[in-house]
Amino acid sequence: MIPSSPLPRPLVLLLPSSCSPLAVAGSPGNTPPPPPKKEPTTPKPQPTMTFQQLAKTRYSVRSYSSEPIAEEQLNYILECARIAPSAVNFQPWHFYIARSADALDKVRQTYPRSWFATAPLVIVGCIRHDQSWHRPTDQKDHGDIDLAIATEHICLAAAEQGLGTCWVCNFDAQLCHQLLCLPPNEEAAVLIPIGHLAPDAAPRPTTRKPLTEIVTDL
């Protein structure tokens, strides 16, 4: 009697430990691996508010509640001012935060209005004229333009945070300089009251000139 030959062992390819043995073509139960699944594409988040909507949301608020502003909100607003553009990137500005009773009392003396006194915090925007860029052809000081850009960053950022602001330029700048003991190279140019809106706060009816009146195609 002739002894039968041993059956051939099935061929198995050695794969990394994280993989399963791969069946050889022709072996029982062999099926091709399924194609890799495509990960679903996550749609890009859409802004909750366009810039134009934000610009239209902002208005000059003249009635504030006594609710304090969260530190995170204030830091966010100031960071938006910090990254504002300026001529030659000189950043010739300085901002003073008046929120203590003593500081607010001094600032309110420079603009004695009842609505202004309702704001729990006021930012005093100053121009550092010794750091601003002057246009060579006529020595135009661009510090006022630079501060205006940063100030509007503050107002728009506050509006995005659900807070109200108002540009105040009709204040006693010399008295403000004196009461706050500002250095001689700084000009107090704008006061920015910031706060949560009072229940009676509402925008005043305003109009804007049409584009045909303010734009000329050359």
* Residue 32 pLDDT: 63
Domain membership flag for residue 70 = yes
* DSSP-based three-state secondary structure for 216: coil
Q: What is the pLDDT of residues 63-82, one digit of tens each?
A: 999 999 999 999 999 999 99
Return the higher-pLDDT residue of 7 and 141.
Answer: 141
Is residue 16's pLDDT more than 80?
Answer: no
> Into how many domains does the chain fold?
1
Within 10 Å of residue 127's Cβ, how many Cβ atoms? Answer: 24
CATH code of the domain covering residue 163: 3.40.109.10
Q: What is the pLDDT of residues 149-202, one digit of tens each?
A: 999 999 999 999 999 999 999 999 999 999 999 999 999 999 999 999 999 999
Domain membership flag for residue 105 = yes
Domain membership flag for residue 202 = no
Strand partners of residue 78 = none
- What share of residues in the chain are helix, strand, coil (percent, to 5)? 30, 15, 55
Q: Which residue bears the tokens 């607003």?
A: 77
Domain membership flag for residue 145 = yes
Is residue 24's pLDDT more than 50?
Answer: no
Domain that holds residue 166: 63-195
DSSP 116: G
CA neighbours within 13 Å on the CB side: how many for 152? 11
DSSP 181: T
